[in-house]
Structure 1
């Protein structure tokens, strides 16, 4: 395939065309993927910032769809039920390893429970020694921020351990699906991170929004778009040659 334009010749073949198009389309797709991830993270950050400007909501009023209150501060009355309390292992606080204490909280006048992350406690040098956690008894009102646990769980447990009916108090991570399957209680699909100002039942609570990677994703997106442009430029450069003047 060949074209002449003034003093230049454009010469190519179908293999070069197909290869270049595949590269360009792949790079553009990867760029859009990173751009989409940046947009999602920006939306999460916007939601988080907006929630800080809103008042405290009553969790009991949205039990059917509690996830609508994500990042909102909520209050709820009930009592802790430590029977199915779990400790999330390998949680780091100021360079020290420990656990996050997650306790079911029975919502007053309902059959619903919500998991409450009560904060961080120090672990033992002997990993077999599980800390004894004191849980306040009786009815009380708690406040905290609503989070939806990630469904992207990495675990070193095999499938047998994940599906066993034997209750274990120490978990590698908060696997909500696993918890809802193993615990014989009706648990909402959210978690409350107990307010640091809550005087009773809490431990070390330095809650922070995960580091934003919006600019990183945008950087990757522009990089992939740049690769697409470079692929086109290289294809054109290699396909064009100057026509030598005949003597």
Structure 2
């Protein structure tokens, strides 16, 4: 009976050790792959930054416009401004403002969703919106083409008010009936007169953290291996002494 219980215990211990070792090793490899992805994105972004600015027509026609700098000329459609909630800068909560820019084209005109920048929120009134000066006439906007507006995790259905967690281009096009293009622009104009922060994170940000997590997972997998081998050595010696 004792032999069966010991064998069952040893089998469970081995299964747990194999599972824990494989899991932590796999998580370490995954963190490494995430770090490599971030570095590859940063390299592609650096290459795109060395290329000349695109016009809207070039951005609409080109397949490799993502990450490229683009120069737009049009007017703000301030009535459609959306405030993306729970965006942080230096640990401070705030909003990222998204306003459509109406841009004339040869075929009449389109609208481009522009993520204009970040503004802190009012701690006393969470529903209060920041007052951002916005020109009423024609403006020139310089930014970077992105395939979608950066998202945060969201539970439930998306709200439709001015304050939202995320903004989907296709959904907003259907909601507003604006002729929105299929990409957005992160505005990067230096020294903005509107007071918005435009220090957008680079793709490489977080790679060091991924490397740190990978090291922790690999260390844990190594610890599991060492403990299991150590247990087997102790068990072998105990059985030999009993004999």
Question: Same fold by TM (over 0.5)?
Answer: yes
The answer as to 2:24 corresponding to 1:32 is: no
Bigger drift between 91-100 and 178-187 goes to 91-100
Which residue is equivalent to 1:143?
142
Give the TM-score, by structure 2 length: 0.71
Unpaired runs of 5+ in structure 2? 1-8
Q: Contact 1:142–1:194 at 8 Å: present in 2 too?
A: yes
Contact 2:59 2:70 in 1 (8 A): no
TM-score by length of 1: 0.70
Partner in structure 1 of residue 75 of structure 2: 79
Structure possessing the higher relative contact order (Cα contacts under 8 Å, 6 or more residues apart) = 1
Say whether the 8 Å CA contact 1:100–1:119 is kept in structure 2: yes
Alignment of 1:182-221 (within 5 A): 182-197=175-190, 202-209=194-201, 212-221=205-214
User: 1:38-57 deviations in whole A, cap 9, x for unaligned?
Assistant: 12222222233333322212
Spell out the pairing of 1:28-67 with structure 2 (5 A cutoff). Answer: 28-63=25-60
Number of residue equivalences: 225
Identify the range of structure 1 (42-51 vs 189-198) with the bigger mean alpha-carbon deviation: 189-198
Please give the alpha-carbon distance, in whole angstroms, between the structure 2 residues aligned to 1:86 and 1:60: 25
Moved more, 136-145 or 21-30: 136-145
Alignment match, 2:116: 118
Checking the alignment, whether the CA contact within 8 Å between 2:132 and 2:194 is kept in structure 1 is no
d(CA) in 2 for partners of 1:163 and 1:122? 21
Aligned to 1:175: 167
- Cα distance in 1 between the residues matched to 2:47 and 2:179: 30
Which blocks of at least 5 consecutive residues in structure 1 are unaligned? 1-11
Does the 8 Å CA contact 1:120/1:205 hold for their aligned counterparts? yes
Distance in 1 (alpha carbons) for counterparts of 2:56 and 2:199: 20
Match of 1:237 among 225, 230, 234: 230
Which structure carries more strand by proportion? 1
Change in 2 beyond 3 A, CA 1:101/1:232: closer
CA distance change for structure 1 residues 24 and 116 in 2, over 3 Å: closer, same or farther? same
Q: Secondary structure at the match of 2:70?
A: strand
Contact 1:153 1:175 in 2 (8 A): no
- In the alignment, which residue of structure 2 is the partner of 1:153? 153
Whether the aligned pair in 2 keeps the contact of 1:119 and 1:202 (CA below 8 Å) is no
Residue 128 (structure 1) shift: 5.3
Change (3 A) 1:65 1:33: farther
Q: Please state whether the residue corresponding to 1:36 is helix, strand or coil.
A: helix
- How many angstroms apart in 2 are the aligned matches of 1:229 and 1:94? 35
Are the counterparts in 2 of residues 30 and 221 from structure 1 also a CA contact under 8 Å?
yes
